[in-house]
Amino acid sequence: MGETSYWNNKDRILALVKRLVRIPSIAGTTDENVMADELLTILKEIQYFRENPDLIFEKHIEGDFLNRKAVAALLKGSKGKSNKTVILLSHFDVVGVEDYGYLKNYAFDPDAYSEILKEHSLSEDIMKELHSGSWLFARGIMDMKAGIALHISLLAEYAKERDFEGNILFLSTPDEERNSEGMFAAVELLSSLKQQYGLQYSIGICSEPSFASYPGDDSKYIYLGSAGKLLPMVFCNGKETHVGEPLEGVNASWMAAVFTANMELSKVFIDQDGEERNPPPTCLKLTDLKEQYNVQTPTDAYVLYNVLTLRQTPDDVMGKLRLIAEQSAREILEKMREMYTSHVGSELDYVKPRVYTYSYLYRLGIEQFGERFEREMEEVHDQQTDPQFDYRQKTVELAKKISGYFQDMAPFYLIMFAPPYYPHVTLQKDGGRDEKIRSIAEAVSKMAKDMYGQEIKLKQFFTGLSDVSYCRLLDADRVIPSLKDEMPLYGKKYRLPLQEIQELDIPTINLGPYGKDAHKRTERLELSFFLETLPHLMKYTVDSVLSNEG
C-alpha cells in the first residue's frame, strides 16, 4: 500500500473532507462508532501508523450505552529527545438533520446538497455564495469535519519525514454536541499517555470554525480560550388550587413564566473580559409537569437556562439566580395584592414564593427526616435509566422528589444546576508558556495578513462551546465545592473529571476554517481559506510550539 499524501494537494484534502462528511455521525447514534472506525482506517493509511499500530489508541466512554470511543494517534519526531507534545483536538459527532426537512437524505452529500440548494429560494447572500463555487454546503462540513481533515493532513505531512523534535497527538472525540462525555474519556487517555510516554502537553490546538460575534460578522478569528457554560434549573413548586379559585393558590406555570420574563437576556449575567462580553442568558426549556388535563392548577414546573461565563463561577451565578428568583417572588406577591384589594397586605405573605438552593433543602431534609430521606434520594439516583438517558430529566426527578418533602413550605423556587458544566478557559498573563502561545497566535495573525492577505483577529473566548473547556481548570477551588453542593448529579451519574483536568492544565487555542450557519440547514464551508491558507498557518503554529523558541 502506498503512502497517502494530502499536503499541498487541495483535491485530496477536499476529498478527505467529503469522505468524513458522508458518515452521518449524529450525536447519540451508532453512526458515531462508524465514524470512529473510519478515522482508525484513515490513520492506518499513513505509513508511520501502519508500522507503529501500537501508537493508535481507542478510549471508550465508561458506561456508555452505545460503547462510543475517542480515537487518538501519537506521532513521535525523530530529532532530539524533547517530550513537548502538540495536541490536535477535534470532535467527530454532528447535530441532527431534522431542520433539513425533505432534503435530509442529502445532508451528508456536499456535492449533491450544494447542487440541489440552487433550486431553492434562499437569501441573496446565500444564493451568491452557493453559485460562486467557493462554498460547500452540508451537515458537519464546518462543524467540524473540515477541522478533522486538516488535522489528519497535517499529521500525514509530519509523518513522512518526522524531521522535528517532540510529539504530535491527534485526538478526536464523540458526543461533543451533547454532553462531551467523549472528552471525559479523552481526559483519562491524556492522563495515561502522559504517564506512559512522559509527554509534556505544550498546547492543544482545536480547529472549530470561526463563529460570528454579532449578526453579519464576517471576520475570521483565532480564539485564545473558550467560554464556559452552566445550566441552571429552577424548579417551581406551586400551591395547587381549583381554576375557579385561582387566588387560593399559586400556579407553578405562572411562577416559571415570571422567572423567565426576568431572566431572559438579563444584563445581570453579563460577564466582561476586556472588550469581550458573553452572550446573555436564554431559556432552553420551560414546562409544567402536569401529565393530563384537569381543572387543578399545575403544582410543579421548571425552567432550564443557558448561562455562558467568561469569569463568573458557579457561586457567582447561583447568587444572581437567587436575585432573579427573589425579584420574581416579589412580583407575584404584588400581583396577588392587586387582586386582593380588600385584604391587608401582610395576610398575603403566605403566597409569596420562597427561594431555596438544592444544598439548603438537602441539609434540611437530613435534619428533619434523617436516614429515610438520604436513602430515598439515593434511590432516585440509582434508578435504572433507559438508553436515551438524559441528565436534565434525572435532575428534574431529583428536584421533584426533594420538593415532595417540603410541601408545607410551598410555594417556592428551588435553584440547582443540571449537567453539563463547561469551565471557561483562556490563556493567562503568566509571563511563561501562555504568553509564548499568545505571541505565536499574534505571529500567525501577522503571517496571514502579510503572506496571504487574510485578516484574522484574536479573541479571548470562543462562544460556540468547545471541548477545550476540559483541558484546564483555572479556578478549581471556587468551582468544585459549588458543583458538589448544587449539582446533584456531579460525581454520581455525571462523571466530570475536574481533578484530572486541573492536573493536565493544557493551554489551548482555536485555529480553524471559516464558514457560516453552524447547526443550520445552510451550514457551509468557505473553500479558499480552508484549502489554500489555513494549512500553512496550522503548520507554522505547530512548528513554532515545537521549536526551541516556542
Whether residues 397 and 436 share a domain: the answer is no
CATH of the domain at 232: 3.30.70.360
Whether residues 182 and 311 share a domain: the answer is no
Whether residues 243 and 279 share a domain: the answer is yes
pLDDT tens per residue across span 160-207: 989 999 999 999 999 999 999 999 999 999 999 999 999 999 999 999
- Cβ-in-10-Å burial (0-12, 13-18, 19+) of 375 comes to exposed
Spatial CB neighbours of 379, under 8 Å, sequence gap ≥ 6: none
Is pLDDT of 550 > 60? Answer: no
| C-alpha pair distances (Å), 544 with each of 18, 82, 129, 391, 439 | 30, 14, 35, 41, 10
- Cβ-in-10-Å burial (0-12, 13-18, 19+) of 496 comes to buried
Whether residues 432 and 410 share a domain: the answer is no
Instruction: Place 2 in a pLDDT band, splitting at 50, 70 and 90.
Output: very low
Instruction: Give the pLDDT score at 373.
Output: 97
Question: 94: helix, coil or strand?
Answer: strand
Amino acid at 262: N
Whether residues 184 and 281 share a domain: the answer is no
Task: Report the C-alpha gap between 150 and 145 in whole angstroms.
Answer: 9
Amino acid at 248: E
Which pairs with CB-CB distance under 8 Å and at least 24 residues apart come from 13-18? 13/149, 13/150, 13/153, 13/531, 13/535, 14/527, 14/531, 16/42, 16/149, 16/152, 16/153, 17/110, 17/136, 17/141, 17/145, 17/146, 17/149, 17/525, 18/110, 18/111
End-of-domain residue from the set 364, 393, 422: 422
Instruction: Place 5 in a pLDDT band, splitting at 50, 70 and 90.
Output: low
Instruction: Give the pLDDT score at 215.
Output: 74
Domain of 518 in residue numbering reads as 10-206+217-226+424-471+506-546
In a domain, 4, yes or no: no
Task: Report the C-alpha gap between 103 and 120 in whole angstroms.
Answer: 11
Amino acid at 471: C
Domain count, the chain: 2
Whether residues 394 and 457 share a domain: the answer is no
Whether residues 412 and 267 share a domain: the answer is yes
Instruction: Give the pLDDT score at 8.
Output: 62
pLDDT tens per residue across span 433-469: 999 999 999 999 999 999 999 999 999 999 889 999 9
- Give 106-134 as a DSSP string: GTT-HHHHHHHHTTS---HHHHHHHHHSS
Whether residues 30 and 95 share a domain: the answer is yes
In a domain, 307, yes or no: yes
The distance from CA 341 to its chain's CA centroid, rounded to whole angstroms, is 49
Whether residues 266 and 363 share a domain: the answer is yes
Instruction: Give the pLDDT score at 337.
Output: 84
Instruction: Place 1 in a pLDDT band, splitting at 50, 70 and 90.
Output: very low
Whether residues 269 and 349 share a domain: the answer is yes
R_g of the chain computed on alpha carbons: 26
